[in-house]
A and B are shown apart, each in its own frame.
Chain A
């Protein structure tokens, strides 16, 4: 994370959307380039609704591995292993 931070352009913003344990940053790097590091809360229900609409508009889709509800444990383990390509989804029927 620290290594890639160096690629941030002047006035650029790094949006943090995952729970990285900690992030060390050279304050001069931020100051001299007016750079920002910003956290962003996922979103509320209306943001999700906007996301769904944009997905329909643009064709953006998640690539999913589908499991029936009774195989939730397998789906969870697959997700935790980091091997899922790319999201695991349970179906109820």
Chain B
């Protein structure tokens, strides 16, 4: 059987080990993806440290995987070999329970499938994914560019578009790390007045580079308790939703 390289965790609290594994075959409703890139997310630590119940080891982490479809299992419709795809935290859903039928696939009552947690993920040359867990990757994005958008990106983008904020509203983003640096960009591009909040004066330049129109150094601000004034200069800004990475 053909082999592939993969990085796995053998037990809770174990190391990330580079191993050789059989290339897996897709079952019904699944595809095999030839992975090109996979982002490393903080929640991969849940797998490494066994911080969530029910993880079977050895397990290959990785839920920011991007690649091309390499083989299709039976019954997969709408996808073909060679399609560029990505897989994020959402690792599939049943499609027939009440939550799924209400359009809330994330709350599937039948199974909680999480990529790289309940199934093997993208720290490998190949991985298996259910067809419903795939996102189509547009031509304009390389695998390395698309990877982090599969979790960090969608987490910030999706929260912002469901926040109730309207164009011109003030959106403060707390923290300018992996998620925050994306949230500021998305907020600015969605037409919000983005304000970055982080520790230290040195992050101000970064915040503006990312598109924020304002910046707050949280250290002295907390001391002065002046967050209350955040939305004050513009009484017309009805909402000031915050994204909290």
Interface residues of A (CB under 8 A from B): 1, 3-18, 20, 38, 40-56, 58-64, 66, 69-70, 72-73, 75-76, 79-80, 82, 84, 86-93
Contacts and interface: CB of A to CB of B under 8 A. Distances in A.
A62 B181 contact: yes
A9 B37 contact: no
A86 B176 CA distance: 9
A8 B229 CA distance: 9
Contacts of A14: 241-242, 244
B179 A52 contact: no
A87 B39 contact: yes
Interface stretch (B21-29, B70-78, B88-96): B88-96
Contact of A17 (B35, B106, B133, B159): B159
Given A13-B241, A91-B143, A45 B87 contact: yes
Contact of A56 (B18, B36, B138): B138
A44 B242 contact: no
20 contacts: A3-B227, A7-B228, A7-B229, A7-B242, A9-B239, A14-B242, A15-B244, A17-B159, A38-B163, A42-B90, A45-B135, A47-B157, A51-B157, A52-B137, A54-B186, A54-B189, A55-B145, A69-B123, A82-B177, A87-B147
Given A60-B182, A63-B181, A76-B16, A52 B40 contact: no
B237 A80 contact: no
B119 interface: no
A57 B3 CA distance: 38
A84 B227 contact: no
B243 interface: yes
B184 to A, nearest CB: 10
